[in-house]
Chains A and B, each alone.
Chain A
Amino acid sequence: MDETLKKGSVTPLSCMFPVDEAQKAAKRVEDSITEKQKELGSLKDFISDNTSLINLVTELPDELHHDIMVPFGKAAFFPGRLIHTNEFMVLLGEGYYAERTCKQTIEILKRRGKALDSQVESLQANLKDLRAEALFFNATASESAEGLVEIREDYVDENGGQTGQKSGTEDEQVTVEDDEYARIMSRLDELEKEELAAEDESQSDEDEHANTVDSHDASEKEKQSGAGDSNSNIQTSSEMWELEHQLKQGYPTTRVLSNKDSNKPNLTEQLSSSGLEVGPIPKDENYATQNVVSLPHQKDLLLPKVGEEVKEVSLSRKEAFTGSILERSDEMPSNAQMQKQTLQTPLEASKPRFDSSKAFTGSIVERTTNVQTDPIAGSSKLSTAQPSRPVSRFKQQRR
C-alpha cells in the first residue's frame, strides 16, 4: 500500500471542500436566486400593469366623456366626469411630463413594455446561471459529505512501481475484463514454458525464480544496493555505449545509472511478479490512466468508467505488444531474454508510451551479461537491507 502513497496522493474531497463550506456557498447562491426571482416577479407585474394600461388608454377615447368616481384624499370618492379623453399627461420619468394624444401615449407605453421585456430576458439568463451554480455547489456538498476521495497520481515511467499496487475495485475490474485476462494468462503461460526451457541454458534464471516471493519493496532497494559483486567488467565498452544510448531514449539519466548497476535483481523481480501474479495488471491500467479518479464508497459506481478505461488501454496494449516483439526479436541474443521482453510488454503496454519499453530492452541486455558472469548475484539480492548507495556505483563499475 505504501507504493500507492509513494506514487500519488489520496485526498478526501471533504478536505478541499469542507461540507459546511460547500453548503454555505450553496445557501448563498440559493439566496441570490430567490432575490432574483422576486425581481423577476415584480418585473412581470410591471409588464401586466403596462398591458392593462395600454388597453385602458385605447378604450378611453372611444367615448367623449366617462362617468367615474374621483378619488378624494385617502378614503373618499366623489362622482365625476372624465372629459378630454384624447389628452394625456404622460410621466416620462424623473418628474418630466409630456402632453400626448392617445395614439402617442400607446406608442410610449409599448416602448416601455419592450424595455421591460429585455430586462426580464437578462434576468432570466442570470437566473439560469445561478441555478447551474447552485446545482454544482449542492453536488459538491453532497459528494464531500459522502466521503468521496480524490486520487491523484504522477505518471511514473517504471514498471516495478506498479506491480505492488492494490486498489479497492480489483475484483470488479478483473471480472470486467475477463477476456483480456484470459488472453494475457495464456500468453504468460506460453512464455513461462519458454522460460523454463531457457532456464537450463543460463543460470541466471534460477535467480529469477528464487526471488519470486520477494516483495516489490525489496526490489526497489536493490536498485540502489544493487548487484554489488556482479560488475565484473565483462562488458565491452561498445556494449556499454549501446546500452547507454538505448536507455537514454526512454529514461532520464538518473534512471539510466541506477538501472545499469542494479537492473539484474530489479528486473528479475519485475519479471517474476508480472509472470506470476497477473492480477496487478488490471489495477495498473486503472492507475495508468492517470486521471483523477474519484472512488466513491460504492465500488459499482466506478465500474462503467473502469470498463471504458480498460477497453482503451487494451487497444493500445495490443499495438504495443506486437510492436515490441517484432522490434526486439532480432536484438535479443538469448531465448530467455526474449521471454523477459515479452513478459514485460503487457505491463509496459498498459502505459501509452512506447519508448519506455525500448528503454527496458537495454537494461535487459545488460542484465544477462552480468548474471552469467556472477553466480553470487542471488546472495547480493538477499542483502537488500543495505542502505541505499549513491548512484555513482556506475562509476565504480567502470573502474
Chain B
Amino acid sequence: MASSTTIRELQRDLENKANDLSKLQKDIAKNHQVRKKYTIQLGENELVLKELDLLSEGANVYKLIGPVLVKQDLAEANANVRKRIDYISAELKRLDATVRDLEEKQNSKRDAVLKLQQRIQSLQAGKAKA
C-alpha cells in the first residue's frame, strides 16, 4: 500500500510541475509578443530618423502631443528620436535576456516532469508485476 501512496504523491508533484511549466510557457509567449511590438516600434523610429536626417535645416517639424501639434526644433526632434531608438534597443536586449532565462527554466522544468513521469511509470509497472 505504501507504493500507492508514493505514486499518489508523485502524481500530485507532477501536476504541480506541469502547471509551473505551462505558466512558464505562457510567460514566454507574452514576452515574444512584447518583443514583436518593440521591434515594430524600432523599425518605425529608424524610418523617422532617416526622414529627419533628410530634412533640410530650416524645415518645420511638429510633434503630435495629445490633440495638438507642437512645433519642435529639428535638432531636438532628431535627438529625441535617437534617444527613443536607444531606449528601445536596450529594452529589446533586456527582453532577450529574460526570454533566454525563461527558456532555460522551462527546459529544466520539462526535464523534471519527464523524470517524474518515468518514475511513476516504473513504479506502476513494478506494482503490476507484483
Chains A and B bind each other:
yes
Task: Choose, from B7-15, B20-28, B56-64, B109-117, the stretch at the interface.
Answer: B56-64
Instruction: Tell me which of B51, B54, B72 has the highest count of chain A C-beta atoms within 10 A of its own C-beta.
Output: B51
Instruction: Tell me which of A91, A97, A100 has the highest count of chain B C-beta atoms within 10 A of its own C-beta.
Output: A97
B40-84: CB near A (< 8 Å → 1, else 0) gives 010011011011101100011111110001001000010001001
- The answer to whether B64 and A92 have CB atoms under 8 Å apart is no
Instruction: Return chain B residues, CB-CB under 8 Å to A117.
Output: none
- In the complex, which residues 90-132 of chain A have their Cβ closer than 8 Å to any Cβ of chain B? 91-100, 107-108, 111-112, 115
Contacts beyond the supplied A92-B52, A94-B84: 9 A-B pairs with Cβ under 8 Å: A94-B81, A95-B63, A95-B65, A96-B63, A96-B77, A96-B81, A97-B63, A97-B64, A100-B59
Please give the number of chain A residues whose Cβ is less than 8 angstroms from any Cβ of chain B in the complex: 16
Shortest CB-to-CB span from B129 to chain A, Å, is 26
- The answer to whether B65 and A92 have CB atoms under 8 Å apart is no
A99 to chain B: closest residue by CB: B60
Number of residue pairs spanning A and B whose beta carbons lie under 8 angstroms apart: 53
List 6 A-B pairs, Cβ < 8 Å. Answer: A92-B47, A96-B52, A97-B64, A98-B51, A98-B60, A98-B61
- The answer to whether A97 and B61 have CB atoms under 8 Å apart is yes
Give CA–CA (A108, B53) in the complex, Å.
12
Instruction: Return chain B residues, CB-CB under 8 Å to A115.
Output: 47
Task: Determine which of A96, A107, A111 lies in contact with B62 in the assembled complex, contact meaning CB atoms within 8 Å.
Answer: A96
Instruction: Return chain B residues, CB-CB under 8 Å to A112.
Output: 47
Please give the number of chain B residues whose Cβ is less than 8 angstroms from any Cβ of chain A in the complex: 22
Give CA–CA (A18, B39) in the complex, Å.
37
Shortest CB-to-CB span from B102 to chain A, Å, is 21
Give CA–CA (A97, B64) in the complex, Å.
7
- The answer to whether B62 and A98 have CB atoms under 8 Å apart is yes
A119 to chain B: closest residue by CB: B43
Instruction: Return chain A residues, CB-CB under 8 Å to B52.
Output: 92, 96, 98
A91 to chain B: closest residue by CB: B64
A89 beta carbon closer than 8 Å to chain B: yes
Give CA–CA (A89, B60) in the complex, Å.
9
Instruction: Return chain A residues, CB-CB under 8 Å to B60.
Output: 98-99
Give CA–CA (A112, B65) in the complex, Å.
24
- The answer to whether A97 and B51 have CB atoms under 8 Å apart is no
Give CA–CA (A94, B81) in the complex, Å.
9
- In the complex, which residues 60-98 of chain A have their Cβ closer than 8 Å to any Cβ of chain B? 89, 91-98
Give CA–CA (A112, B44) in the complex, Å.
11
- The answer to whether A93 and B64 have CB atoms under 8 Å apart is no
Instruction: Return chain B residues, CB-CB under 8 Å to A99.
Output: 59-62
- Contact A95 to B64, CB < 8 A, known contacts A108-B51, A115-B47: yes
Give CA–CA (A99, B72) in the complex, Å.
12
Shortest CB-to-CB span from B111 to chain A, Å, is 21
Shortest CB-to-CB span from B42 to chain A, Å, is 11
Give CA–CA (A92, B45) in the complex, Å.
9
Instruction: Return chain A residues, CB-CB under 8 Å to B51.
Output: 92-93, 98, 108, 111
Give CA–CA (A100, B60) in the complex, Å.
8
Task: Determine which of A89, A93, A98, A111 lies in contact with B55 in the assembled complex, contact meaning CB atoms within 8 Å.
Answer: A98
Task: Determine which of A89, A93, A100, A107 lies in contact with B48 in the assembled complex, contact meaning CB atoms within 8 Å.
Answer: A93
Give CA–CA (A368, B45) in the complex, Å.
89
